[in-house]
Structure 1
């Protein structure tokens, strides 16, 4: 099974037996010469070929998931009131009531609640925690190639998403020219996609 995944006998042997590279290099070539093993690999290749159509449908569905992904599926954000904090703790007025201020917030959903296969990066840095989704523009471009093969409702959704993505890209370019920073992972993905970057 590892051989079918990598098509590299040495790597497949290492994955299967957790051994040194030199050992895998010697033993893997010996195993490939075994008639029973070669027959089994050929049988599995044949089964895999018959399942290519199913695999293609799976890949297409994944592109649909990426193209139609909504950031609110992964995080909630907005404004809320919190008690102001000073050098010595929470701030209160002269009557002992908490002094409230409005602040922005971002709350990430639990990993068990989201589709982690379309999240390419989660990181914690100086500016806080950020999440990056798979390349929406690339997925839209791929789906556009299969446009005529899709049901009408998906075609309609694709048109809307493509228009939204193009609009966001124009806005992002305008903001970049003004020197303003947009704090959304979607816009970062759109810009990097246009530059030819991989998400």
Structure 2
């Protein structure tokens, strides 16, 4: 995206939210980096990976919940809207919030790449910047294209300072404030 197009979003956040409310349930819309995006419907392997992460988080940190498909206000000044594959937060964090929640209190967001034409830009670039801009401590990216897990942490100035990537099959330490370890051997079961 060029700097001039970033300054001119396709629509206002209010216009996006109106469109998103009217969209059929089979369509998931996001508003990232000033652009309307259609998020693909997850396939079965995608769902299984999210459930695997959910089980791991709950076993190691039962006071937390992994909220699937949570709508969040992201980017600087909360001008973006992303529907994350999973948002890890203390139980009760989203009580009383609407469809698009403030990201305060979220410890980690999880995204699993989809097999579509713009997953590279969406999951590896646009959302990465949006999550860092609002200070979400950890962004866990499970990349089905190259069979790897990337743990983005230490957000600072709109980006993450640390981004170690490891292949499926290794132990992945998720740093504080999450503080869990994922043995990613099971992810090999959900590989095309």
Please give the range of the TM-score, normalised by the shorter of the 2 chains: under 0.3
**Taking structure 2 as the reference length, what is the TM-score of the superposition?**
0.22
**Taking structure 1 as the reference length, what is the TM-score of the superposition?**
0.21
Query: Normalized per residue, which structure has more helix?
Result: 1
Query: Normalized per residue, which structure has more strand?
Result: 2
